[in-house]
């Protein structure tokens, strides 16, 4: 019933502020003001305009608005398939948070974990206000972004040269919790199953594990590399667990591989977990809590991390000060049945606010 588009029935002619102005008998400026909070307009006029707008089904064009305000309300999000596999919820969470902040998420999927100058041009050409990158950006690319005034927040990555803000998970603290737990459970000889060689997240976790184990006087063998997948974990298990000198614990760089190792133990190698080997993961994906696995793992606080990332990018967009900070949120240790000792279901550590580095003082004050 009623109408919805003023004149032309076909052709999808956009309804513009002029159409609304004409119908309401006011100027185009008035229409514009009626849709901006805090604009100088009487409530009577605003009501009249909005009535007319509703009648025509008018919505201000973000594109036209962006052209003049120099703000697109678009936030670019960079991901690779690996990111989304390891953290299936990340896109939904980021999208949700960005939306809460009044913008929208424009997704850029990358084939390889690396943004070059072309990729940057691509981002720039879509006029994003800022970028959240769950991918690797070379330092010189970051410098270009800075030079162009494009705010970047790195997610689970960071810029050693401090050329971008970043949000991550404090693997060092996490690994200390884990090491303490394992030591208490009797671990003496642990192996580490890493992700792909050079994968930043995996390297970070490996380094953290090394440091934590060292400070607990436990040994950690040289890492074995797989590709983050369940299949690759399962495949790597026989090598890791050769009877000759089998480690008593396998620490994995992510959950998927850990679950693969557990499956290999039980179904391929006839080993009991944690009886013969303890297995740990990192991320706390949904499956880790399923009774078939009951994986002890470090829970990455995704909700907090994404919220923080969005918060930081929004602040940088409004601020654009060159101050940089790196925020590390604390993972929780979730103890389940794949390790010895502790009580199943124990959670050690409170996820959330963690370390903060950088020149800026408080974000959450």
Q: Is the CB of residue 95 less than 8 Å from the CB of residue 111? A: no
Parallel/antiparallel/unpaired status of strands 219-220 and 165-169: unpaired
Per CB under 7 A, the list member of 5, 6, 28, 96 interacting with DNA is 28
Given a contact cutoff of 8 angstroms between Cβ atoms, the answer to whether 331 and 167 are in contact is no
174 membership: H or E segment, kind and range? helix 171-184
Q: How far is the CB of 5 from its own copies (least distance, A)?
A: 6
Contact between 337 and its own copies (CB under 8 A)?
A: no
Does 155 participate in binding its own copies (rule CB under 8 A)? no
29 binds its own copies (CB under 8 A): no
| Shortest distance (Å) from residue 46 CB to DNA | 7
Say which residue the tokens 């008593």 belong to. 248
DSSP string, 118-137: HHHHHHHHTT-SEEEESS-B
Give min distance, CB of 117 to DNA, in A: 17
State the nearest-atom distance from the C-beta of 204 to its own copies, in Å: 23
What DSSP element (H or E) covers 225?
strand 224-225
Q: How far is the CB of 106 from its own copies (least distance, A)?
A: 5
The only residue of 23, 35, 131, 156 in contact with DNA, by rule CB under 7 A? 35
Instruction: Tell me: does residue 111 bind DNA (CB under 7 A).
Output: no
Residue 64 binds to DNA (criterion: CB under 7 A): yes
Sole binder of DNA in the list 3, 4, 67, 323 (CB under 7 A): 67
Beta carbons of 269 and 262 less than 8 angstroms apart: no
Using the structure block, give the residue that is written with the tokens 């706390």.
Answer: 284
Question: Which CB, 35 or 213, lies closer to its own copies?
Answer: 35
Can residue 16 be called a binding residue for DNA (CB under 7 A)?
A: yes
Q: Does residue 215 bind its own copies (CB under 8 A)?
A: no
292 lies in the binding site for its own copies (CB under 8 A): yes
Q: Does 14 bind DNA (CB under 7 A)?
A: yes
Residue 79 is encoded by which pair of tokens?
Answer: 């991901």
| Choices 61-69, 88-96, 164-172, 246-254; region in contact with DNA by CB under 7 A | 61-69
36, 114, 121, 188: residue in contact with its own copies (rule CB under 8 A): 121
Which range binds its own copies by CB under 8 A, 20-28, 74-82, 241-249, 299-307?
74-82
- 165, 316 in Cβ contact below 8 A? yes
User: Which position has the token pair 């307009």?
Assistant: 41
Phi, psi of 255 (to 5 degrees): -70, -40
Smallest CA-to-CA distance from 135 within 146, 124, 123, 127 is with 123
> Hey, is 166 helix, strand or coil?
strand
Distance (Å) of CA 14 to CA 20, 61, 276: 11, 9, 68
Question: Rounded to whole angstroms, how far apart are CA atoms 298 and 305?
Answer: 14
Show the tokens assigned to 359: 């020149």
68 contact, one of its own copies, DNA, none, CB 5-8 Å limit per kind: DNA
* Binding partner selected for residue 219 from DNA, its own copies, none, CB under the kind-specific 5 to 8 Å limit: none
Binding partner at 109 among its own copies, DNA, none, C-beta below 5 to 8 Å by kind: its own copies
Number of residues that bind its own copies (CB under 8 A): 62
Sequence-separated (6 or more) residues with CB below 8 Å from residue 196: 202, 225, 226, 227, 228
Q: Is 30 in the site for DNA (CB under 7 A)?
A: yes
Given the rule CB under 8 A, which residues bind its own copies?
Answer: 4-5, 9-12, 14, 57, 59-64, 66-67, 70, 72, 74, 79, 81, 84, 88-89, 91-92, 95-96, 99, 104-109, 121-122, 124-127, 144, 147-150, 230, 234, 259-260, 262-263, 266-268, 286-287, 290-293, 320
């Amino acid at each position: 019933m009623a109408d919805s588009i003023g004149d032309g029935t076909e052709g999808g002619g956009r309804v513009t502020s002029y159409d609304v102005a004409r119908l309401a008998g006011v100027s185009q400026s008035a229409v514009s003001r009626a849709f901006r909070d805090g604009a100088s307009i009487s409530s009577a006029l605003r009501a009249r305009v909005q009535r007319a707008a509703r009648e025509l089904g008018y919505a201000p064009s973000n594109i036209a608005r962006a052209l003049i305000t120099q703000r697109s309300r678009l936030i670019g999000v960079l991901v690779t398939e690996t990111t989304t596999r390891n953290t299936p919820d990340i896109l939904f969470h980021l999208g949700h948070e960005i939306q809460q902040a009044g913008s929208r998420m424009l997704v850029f999927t990358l084939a390889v974990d690396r943004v070059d100058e072309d990729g940057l041009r691509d981002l720039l050409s879509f006029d994003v206000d800022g970028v959240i990158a769950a991918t690797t950006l070379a330092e010189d690319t970051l410098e270009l972004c800075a030079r162009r005034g494009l705010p970047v927040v790195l997610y689970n990555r960071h810029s050693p040269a401090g050329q971008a803000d970043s949000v991550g998970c404090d693997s060092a603290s996490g690994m200390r919790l884990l090491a303490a737990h394992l030591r208490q459970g009797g671990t003496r000889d642990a192996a580490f199953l890493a992700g792909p060689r050079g994968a930043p997240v995996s390297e970070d976790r490996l380094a953290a594990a090394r440091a934590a184990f060292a400070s607990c006087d436990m040994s950690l063998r040289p890492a074995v590399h797989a590709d983050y997948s369940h299949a690759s974990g399962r495949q790597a298990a026989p090598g890791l667990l050769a009877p000759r000198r089998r480690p008593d614990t396998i620490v994995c760089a992510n959950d998927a591989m850990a679950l693969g190792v557990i499956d290999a133990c039980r179904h391929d190698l006839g080993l009991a977990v944690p009886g013969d080997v303890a297995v740990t993961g990192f991320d706390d994906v949904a499956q880790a809590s399923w009774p078939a696995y009951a994986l002890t793992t470090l829970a990455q606080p995704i909700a907090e991390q994404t919220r923080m990332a969005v918060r930081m990018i929004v602040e940088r967009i409004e601020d654009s000060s060159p101050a940089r900070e790196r925020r590390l949120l604390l993972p929780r240790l979730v103890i389940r049945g794949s390790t010895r000792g502790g009580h199943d279901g124990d959670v050690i550590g409170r996820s959330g606010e963690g370390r903060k580095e950088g020149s800026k003082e408080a974000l959450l004050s």
